[in-house]
Amino acid sequence: MAAAAKAPPRRASRVSALASITAAILFAATVVTGGYIARLELTGRRTEGQVIAIRVDDKDLDREPTYYPVIEFVTASAMLLRFEDFGGPSPRYRVGDRVTVLYRGDELPQFAMVDRDRSSNLLLPLLPFGGAVLLGLPLVRRVRSRLSSRTAGRSASGLRPALHGSDRRMMNV
């Protein structure tokens, strides 16, 4: 019976650890994506591209299809490149639409995206940041409560009060 009572805290600590790890990964993704987008905004090149196809991802029957525009453009060094932009639940473009493309230049591997505007591009890293915050808030609250309980248990001199005979925990034998 004592083992059954210990199971929920162990499961909760596993879930909390998983949420903490996921929040840390999302925060790292925010930092990497933010740096990458900022670098792309500062040193990237802009050119005109054309939507040549719309790829539909509808393999999962439980959710709405996702539409990915396939865009073709010519770099400054006359290389013809093709890429898929970020997808969405409805097609944002039609085949034949002209779009502004922001790309890294002639560096390999090539990276390109549709250039919406500077503010939209710089807001892109907020997506993983939002996930990190949502998953990290319970962790922050838990750490804060542990720290406050540790400091509340200390006496004015900063030392823990000595355990008296009546305060000691008894062990089940």
Q: Tell me the pLDDT of the chain (173 aa) as tens digits.
A: 555 545 455 665 676 777 778 888 888 888 888 888 888 888 888 999 999 999 998 887 788 899 999 999 998 888 888 999 888 888 889 999 999 998 887 665 567 888 876 666 667 777 778 777 777 777 777 777 777 777 766 544 455 555 555 555 555 55
Hey, what's the torsion of the CAs at 24, 30, 33, 39, to 10 degrees? -120
What is residue 100's predicted lDDT score, i.e. its pLDDT? 92
Q: Map tokens 């995206």 to a residue.
A: 113
User: Minimal CA–CA distance to 85: which of 101, 70, 64, 65?
Assistant: 70
Given this model, what pLDDT does residue 161 score? 52
pTM of the model: 0.57
